Amino acid sequence: MTIALGADHRGDAALKALAPQLRSAGHTVIILGDCHGQPCDYPDQAYDVAQAVSHGKAQRGILICGSGIGVSIAANKVDGIRAGLVFDEIAAAMSRSHNDCNVLCLSADTTPAKEILTIVDVWLKTPFEGGRHERRVKKIAAIERGKDPRTIPMDATVQ
């Protein structure tokens, strides 16, 4: 799988620890907007990673900033992105199985590097369950298109 990674200066060390693990697991890693440890603005990396996923250059994206909140907000502004802020393995699994989350957002300040590695591993291995959850993801897509999600039929196909 091709995974786009991005981090601001507060998430830079965590990103540098994560990239080799992903590569050793057989993934292709694209680092976008490397800050090289210098102060930088998280919306830039969030945009680059979200665009890579949205345009099919990567199947998934991972973003890391101090709180994880900023990258989550910014990434979710890009069409087709379902970015989830995750702090533990349970949320990682749920973000994939129930929400088909395609961008994982993490907090470098509150999540130790070892936990980040475990969270990412769970997130990458958890499939989307579909079923009743697919209907909800379709409603999220409707909101992106400016539609009221209640107008989506219960048996609507993904558009």
Strands 60-65 and 28-31: unpaired
Task: Tell the burial category of 143 from Cβ atoms under 10 Å away from its Cβ (0-12, 13-18, 19+).
Answer: exposed
Contact present, 118 and 111 (Cβ < 8 Å): no
User: Is 65 a catalytic site residue?
Assistant: yes
User: Considering 40, 65, 101, 105, which one is annotated as catalytic?
Assistant: 65
Q: How far apart, in whole angstroms, are the C-alpha atoms of residue 40 and residue 34?
A: 9
Q: How far apart, in whole angstroms, are the C-alpha atoms of residue 130 and residue 45?
A: 29
Query: What is the side-by-side order of every strand in the sheet holding 60-65?
Result: 28-31, 2-7, 60-65, 103-107, 83-85
Q: Which residues pair with 103 in a beta bridge?
A: 61, 83
User: Is 98 a catalytic site residue?
Assistant: yes
User: Considering 27, 35, 36, 98, which one is annotated as catalytic?
Assistant: 98
Question: Which residues are known to be catalytic?
Answer: 65, 98
